[in-house]
Structure 1
C-alpha cells in the first residue's frame, strides 16, 4: 500500500498525464515517419518542435541511472518518435483534456550507455558506440520500431542546462541524425526536491541569431559554472517537458518503482546529499563574498556621475545590486528548506518504522510503552512534524 501511495505521489508531483493505450502517441506509423523525415520541416523553422513528451517508464529509468552515478555524470540514449503537425481541432484525451501541440518529440524508452564519467563531463568511447549500434539493431529485431531520438546525461548538483561540450555534441547530433533532443537530469536536486529536475534542449543552427529570449525560471548555478552557462546560453533553447503514461504501463512502472522506492526509503538526503549541501554552502559563500567586495569599493564621485545618478543610472545600479543580493537570499532559503525537508523525512520514517522495547525513551524524550501496548498512532509526534512542515511551506 505504501509503495502504491508513493508512486501516486510521484505521479502527482511530476504532473504525469495518463493517456489511453489506444492513443496515437503509442502508434508508430511507418509511412508517416518516412514522410516527415523526408520533408524535414524542422530545417526551415528552428523552433519547429514545441514540446518534449517523455513516458514515465523512460523517466524512472533515467532517474535511477542518474542517481547511480552520483557524484559522476552518466549518459544514455532515448528511443521514440516525432509527431509532426498541428491540428486545427485537437483531439481530447480519455480524461477530457486537450492534447498538447502535436509538433512534439516523443520519448518512449531509454537505455544507459557504458561510458566513463567524471564530476564535470562524460566521455563516450568506442565501446559505447559499439554498444549503442548493437542495442538499436537488436531492438529492431525484437520488433521495436522507435529509433534513437535523443540522448540524456546528468548534471549532479548544478542544474539543467547545456555546457559548451554539450552544445557541440547536440549540434553534431542535429546535423547528422536530426530530429534529436538533449535531456539533462540533476539527480542531486531531484533527491532534495522530490520532483524530477529535468530539462529538454535543442540547439540553434550555426550562425542563427535567436530573437529576444523569454526569461526562464530562476535556477541557482554554481559560481564555477556561471561563465560556461552564460557563454552558450544563446545557442540553444529549452522545450517544455510533459510526462505521460498509460494504464498498460502500471505493471512495468510498479516493478521499476520498487527499485526506486527502496533506494529512496533506505537513503537519507541529509547523508547522500552531504557533499552536495557542502558545495552549495561553499558556492553561496563565494557569491556573497564576491558581491560584498564589489559593493564595498568606494570611489570619489565626479560631477557627471551625480547628473547621471539623477537620470536614474544610480537607481538601476542599486536595483542590480539588490537583485544579486536577492538571488543570494533565495539560494540560502532554498538550502535551508531542503535541509528541513530532510529532517522531516527522517522524523517521519522514525515514527513509522522504528521498533523500541518498553521503557526506552525516544529522541523526543517520550517513554515508549512497547509494541504490544503502543497506540495506533503517535499523535504528538505526527502533529509536531505537521507543524514543522507547515512552517517550512
Structure 2
C-alpha cells in the first residue's frame, strides 16, 4: 500500500473526455436515482488521472447508493479482464450521482471514501449532478478525498458557492470538514478522439468534445 506524506497530498484531478462522457451519460440515465461506477487511471505526482470509467450494477435510491456485493464482484472481474487485455490503468476511484442537489460528500459517502482510502489507496471520489449539468449547460462535477478520522483541517477560505437543498443542509454541514476538493480539469487523448467520433450523434457530445475546457494531452 502506498503511503502519502500529507493529508492533503493529492491536489489535482484530470479526467479524460471518454471517462467524463461515460460518467455523465450514466448519471443522466439514472434520472432522480443515484447511480454508481468505478474509475480507472493512474497517479502522476500530486495529480490523479482518470482515463476510463464504467457503471456498476447497484441498487440506487433517491437518497443514497447501495453498493451490493454483486457490484464489487463485477468491479473485480472488470479490472482483472482489463489487465488481461493489456490495459495498464488501475482502479483509482469511484463516482456517483447527486441528481439536483450538488457535488459534495454525504455522511455515507464520507464513510465509503474513508474505507476506500484505507484499503485501496490511492483512491478518489467523484460526484456528478446530472440535473444541474443539463440545466446549466456545463458539467457539474466535483472530486474529493477524505481526511483521516479525527483530523482537523486548517481553516480555509470559502469554497465555490453551490446551492444545497434544505433537506440536505444538515448532512452537508456535519461532514463538510471531513474532506477536501481537488482541482478538476479535463483532457482529450488520441483514443478519446476516436471514440468521441463514434458517439458523435449523441445530443450533447458535440458540446463536450469541442469545449475549451478540454486540453489535448497524452498520458
**TM-score, structure 2 as length reference:** 0.90
**Secondary structure of 1:175's match?**
helix
Q: What CA distance in whole angstroms lies between the structure 2 residues aligned with 1:127 and 1:258? A: 33
What is the aligned-residue RMSD (CA, Å)? Answer: 1.4
Paired position in structure 1 for 2:192? 249
Structure of greater Rg: 1
Q: What CA distance in whole angstroms lies between the structure 1 residues aligned with 2:50 and 2:70? A: 24
Q: Does 2:25 align with 1:64? A: yes
Paired position in structure 2 for 1:82? 43
1:137 aligned residue (80, 88, 91): 80
**Contact kept in structure 2, 1:61 and 1:256, CA below 8 Å:** no
Q: Which moved more, 1:253-262 or 1:47-56?
A: 253-262
Q: What CA distance in whole angstroms lies between the structure 1 residues aligned with 2:191 and 2:59? A: 35
Mapping 1:279-290, distance limit 5 Å: none
Mapping 1:324-339, distance limit 5 Å: none
Q: What CA distance in whole angstroms lies between the structure 2 residues aligned with 1:246 and 1:139? A: 18
**TM-score, structure 1 as length reference:** 0.51
**Secondary structure of 1:231's match?**
helix
Q: Which runs of 5 or more structure 1 residues have no equivalent in the other structure?
A: 1-36, 85-102, 265-393
Deviations 1:150-177 (A, max 9, x none): 0000000000000000000000000111
Q: What CA distance in whole angstroms lies between the structure 1 residues aligned with 2:116 and 2:15? A: 19
Q: Does 2:84 align with 1:123? A: no
Q: Does 2:163 align with 1:220? A: yes
Which protein, 1 or 2, shows the higher relative CO under an 8 Å CA cutoff with sep ≥ 6?
2
2:108 aligned residue (152, 155, 165): 165
Deviations 1:207-251 (A, max 9, x none): 111000220111110000000000001000000100001344222
Deviation at 1:260, TM superposition (A): 4.4
Q: Which runs of 4+ in 1 moved over 4 A?
A: none
2:127 aligned residue (178, 184, 188): 184
Q: What CA distance in whole angstroms lies between the structure 1 residues aligned with 2:141 and 2:176? A: 17
Q: What CA distance in whole angstroms lies between the structure 2 residues aligned with 1:74 and 1:112? A: 8
